[in-house]
Amino acid sequence: MIVAEVRGIGTKSTGVTLTNSLGVDICESVSIPKYGQLLCLTKENLAFDTVDSLKLKVAANLIDCGVTGACDYQTSSAANMPLVSSVSKLDALTLQFVGTGFQLLPDFAPRVRYLGIEASEVTIGLDTTVTATFPNGVPLSNITQKALLYYVQDSTGVQHYA
C-alpha cells in the first residue's frame, strides 16, 4: 500500500494513479478517501526501480513526484501491516472488520471511516477483529463503497491504511 498526499485531487477525481519511471501503472486499485490523499494498493510481485522514481499520472499527464513535489508518499509492506479480509455490519450501529495483524501498530490508534463519516469508537477485540461503532447508525448508501480501517500516530499525524 502506498499512501500519497497529492495536491489538487478530490474524492470524485478519476484517471489518477501512480506509475514507475517508465509510466507503467503500479496500482492494483486506487481510492481517494479524502481531499488530497491517494491510496494505491500495489500489484502483487511488482518490480519497479525505486520508490524515488514514482510518477503521478492524471489522465494522460505524468508528473515526477520526486522532482516537482506534486506528491509526497510513504510505502508500507503487507508483511508487517494489518490486512482486512472482510467487513460486515453486525447491527444498526456496528461494523466489524476481520483479518490479521490488527495489533501490529502499537504506537498508532485505529480509526474507521465509512462514507466520509468517522466511527466514534474503534476497538481491537483480538489481533483478528476490529469493531467500529457509529452512534447515529452505520451510514446507509445505495452505492458500493469500502469502509476504511486506518491507523493514526497522534504525535506525527502519519496514517497507515489496512
Boundaries of every domain in the chain: 2-75, 80-161
**Mean pLDDT for the stretch of residues 23-46:** 80
**Mean pLDDT for the stretch of residues 121-142:** 87
Is the domain spanning 80-161 CATH 3.30.9? The answer is no
Task: Judge whether 53 and 21 are in contact, CB under 8 Å.
Answer: yes
Provide the pLDDT for residue 68: 60
- At 136, is the pLDDT very low, low, confident or very high (cuts 50, 70, 90)? very high
Provide the pLDDT for residue 49: 45
Tens of pLDDT, residues 106-121: 778 888 888 888 899 9
Tens of pLDDT, residues 56-103: 888 888 877 766 666 776 555 545 667 788 888 899 999 999 988 888
Rounded CA-CA distance 150/162 in Å is 6
pTM summary value: 0.55
Q: Residue 150: phi, psi to the nearest 5?
A: -145, 165
Q: Strand pairing of 55-58 and 16-19?
A: antiparallel
Task: Judge whether 134 and 122 are in contact, CB under 8 Å.
Answer: no
Whether the per-residue pLDDT at 52 is higher than 80: the answer is no
Provide the pLDDT for residue 51: 47
